[in-house]
């Protein structure tokens, strides 16, 4: 019995010790599936440059990330959508003050199977397809074949973004809810009748799928999300900022990591992973949130303010 007690005490001590080691300086990043690859890459590079720091990046969806931030279970919540009023209210009740940082720009890409002749759609057509009002490819200039809808689960920020900004209505009940961008891409590769939406970082340079060019109206013209110019000059109609939320203005390692993400090196990784670097207006917005003084002309786009982020 005594021996049992001793071993139990030892085990408890071990667990306590481990959890303490974990808590120290480990930055927990959680949320968006769209952001997970790029933030993981950023974290790897950052940790390589700053030995001794630890950043853990996990997925689960934007809603899951924000819920974790509200419940103080993570330091940084990745989110491909804006925080909802209800979530802010819940956070405030728990003494959490969400602050938003924009880390990348996404051009939400509509993808179809490589054998599907449809290569352009209007925003209205996409809305009709996902609301279930258009259910055959022939109605949008394709073959006579039913449309199979692939989308994300309701904990996904991309699911919400589509609904609020593209469809402006509720999803068809025929929607297949997939567990992430990669799963949608896999499904579309196999399904000749499928349509899906993914972050542009997941759609580029892939065999077996076609990226649809999208028009706000046919008069303005159809634009591809893969061409950076279309996205930077705002011609591609479904772009969105990819966000990170922190509790209050980030401090210590979390802050340093965010500054790295916003630096020229960080933004280069963002572009390498297939997304787009944030424009000046969002850099200014971020500077404001982070409380960095912004002196026009004293630094170039994406360069960190002196002394804050150092290699």
Partner 1 sequence: MGHSRFKEKMIHGLFFLNGLVAVIVLVGIFALLVTKSISAFREISLSQFLFSANWNPTATFVAPSYGIWSMIVSTFMVSLGALCIALPLGIGTAAYLSDVASARVREIVKPIVEILAGIPSVVIGFLGIVLVGPVIAKVFHTTNGLNALNGSILLAVMALPTIISLSEDALKSVPKSFEEASLALGATKWQTLVRVKIPAALSGIIAASMLGMGRAIGETMTVLMATGCALEMPKSFLDSVLTMTSTIAIELGEVPYNTTHYYALFAIGLVLFIITFVINMISDIILHRYEKVIK
The site for partner 1 (CB under 8 A) is made up of 1, 60-61, 63-64, 66-67, 70, 86-87, 90, 145-146, 148, 153-155, 160, 163-164, 168-170, 173-179, 183, 186-187, 190-194
Cβ distance to partner 1 smaller for residue 53 or 179: 179
Is residue 247 a contact partner of residue 90, using CB atoms and an 8 Å limit? no
How far apart CA 134 and CA 126 sit, in angstroms, is 9
Residue holding tokens 């209505």? Answer: 169
For the CB of residue 92, give the shortest distance to partner 1 in the complex, in Å.
Answer: 13
For the CB of residue 87, give the shortest distance to partner 1 in the complex, in Å.
Answer: 7
The encoded tokens of residue 185 equal 């891409």
Cβ distance to partner 1 smaller for residue 122 or 177: 177
Is residue 42 a contact partner of residue 266, using CB atoms and an 8 Å limit? yes
How far apart CA 102 and CA 85 sit, in angstroms, is 18
Cβ distance to partner 1 smaller for residue 39 or 68: 68
Is residue 245 a contact partner of residue 66, using CB atoms and an 8 Å limit? yes
For the CB of residue 276, give the shortest distance to partner 1 in the complex, in Å.
Answer: 26
**Type and span of the H or E element at 5:** helix 2-23
Cβ distance to partner 1 smaller for residue 174 or 272: 174
For the CB of residue 82, give the shortest distance to partner 1 in the complex, in Å.
Answer: 13
For the CB of residue 91, give the shortest distance to partner 1 in the complex, in Å.
Answer: 10
Tell me how far the alpha carbon of residue 99 is from its chain's centroid: 16
Cβ distance to partner 1 smaller for residue 94 or 252: 94
């Amino acid at each position: 019995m005594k021996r049992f007690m001793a071993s139990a005490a030892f085990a408890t001590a071990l667990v306590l010790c481990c959890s303490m080691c974990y808590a120290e300086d480990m930055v927990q990043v959680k949320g968006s599936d769209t952001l997970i690859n790029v933030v993981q890459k950023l974290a790897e590079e950052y940790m390589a440059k700053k030995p001794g720091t630890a950043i853990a990046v996990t997925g689960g969806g934007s809603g899951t990330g924000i819920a974790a931030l509200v419940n103080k279970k993570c330091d940084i919540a990745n989110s491909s959508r804006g925080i909802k009023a209800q979530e802010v209210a819940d956070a405030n009740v728990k003494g959490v003050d969400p602050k938003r940082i924009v880390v990348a720009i996404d051009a939400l890409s509509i993808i179809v199977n490589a054998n599907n002749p449809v290569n352009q759609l209007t925003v209205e057509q996409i809305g009709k397809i996902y609301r279930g009002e258009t259910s055959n490819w022939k109605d949008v200039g394709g073959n006579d074949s039913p449309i199979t809808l692939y989308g994300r689960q309701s904990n996904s920020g991309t699911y919400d973004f589509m609904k609020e900004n593209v469809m402006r209505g509720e999803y068809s009940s025929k929607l297949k809810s997939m567990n992430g961008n990669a799963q949608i891409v896999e499904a579309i590769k196999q399904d000749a009748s499928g349509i899906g939406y993914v972050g542009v970082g997941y759609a580029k340079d892939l065999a077996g799928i076609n990226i649809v060019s999208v028009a706000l109206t046919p008069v303005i013209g159809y634009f591809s999300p893969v061409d950076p110019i279309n996205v930077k000059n705002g011609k591609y109609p479904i772009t969105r900022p990819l966000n990170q939320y922190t509790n209050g203005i980030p401090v210590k390692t979390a802050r340093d990591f965010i500054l790295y993400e916003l630096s020229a090196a960080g933004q280069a990784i963002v572009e390498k992973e297939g997304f787009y670097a944030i424009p000046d207006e969002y850099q200014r917005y971020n500077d404001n949130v982070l409380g960095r003084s912004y002196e026009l002309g004293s630094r170039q786009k994406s360069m960190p303010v002196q002394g804050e982020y150092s290699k």
